[in-house]
């Protein structure tokens, strides 16, 4: 900048500075803090409507069918879809497998018991007829 331009600028700068820096509202920082902390509290304390519905639904299902029922329902709804999406065994699939395996074992035991009882019964009848 040439000296005459520099002087010209000095004049302009002093006029601009005459306006002074923008005054910051005195309570602005406090309001900003309240907004930030308030928003954080909202996100931690106020669940969304969907969140509330899922929570209420889960509680109602647990009350109606017990935890095992919820596990079976969750596994049936989410298990196959999740496992096909992810390509591996998800916790719900593992839960389903464990539950069906236990039911299968229980069923097998009951069947064997029934067969034993029936065979005893048949044997007893044959004994009695002799």
4 or 125: CB nearest another protein: 4
Q: Token pair for residue 56? A: 């209420």
By the rule CB under 8 A, 17 interacts with another protein:
yes
Please state, in angstroms and rounded to a whole number, the distance separating the CA atoms of residues 81 and 83: 6
Task: List all residues 6 or more positions away from 29 whose beta carbon is below 8 Å from its beta carbon.
Answer: none
CA distance 98 to 1: 83
Of 11 and 88, the one with the shorter C-beta distance to another protein is 11
Cβ proximity to another protein, 26 vs 126, nearer residue: 26
Asked if 95 and 101 count as a contact pair (C-beta separation under 8 A), the reply is no
Residues 20-59 as x/- pattern, contact with another protein by CB under 8 A: xxx-xx--xxxxxx-xxx-xx-------------------
From candidates 3, 11, 46, 125, binder to another protein by CB under 8 A: 11
The answer to whether the CB of 82 falls within 8 A of the CB of 93 is: yes
Give residues in contact with another protein (CB under 8 A): 1, 5, 8-22, 24-25, 28-33, 35-37, 39-40
């Amino acid at each position: 900048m040439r000296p005459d331009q520099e002087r010209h600028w000095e004049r302009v700068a002093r006029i601009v500075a005459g306006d002074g820096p923008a005054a910051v509202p005195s309570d602005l920082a406090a309001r900003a803090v309240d907004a930030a902390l308030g928003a954080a509290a909202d996100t931690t304390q106020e669940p969304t409507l969907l969140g509330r519905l899922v929570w209420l639904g889960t509680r109602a299902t647990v009350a109606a069918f017990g935890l095992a029922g919820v596990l079976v329902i969750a596994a049936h709804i989410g298990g196959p879809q999740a496992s096909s999406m992810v390509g591996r065994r998800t916790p719900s699939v593992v839960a389903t497998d464990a539950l069906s395996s236990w039911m299968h074992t229980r069923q097998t035991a009951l069947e064997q018991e029934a067969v034993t009882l029936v065979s005893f019964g048949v044997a007893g009848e044959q004994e009695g007829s002799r």
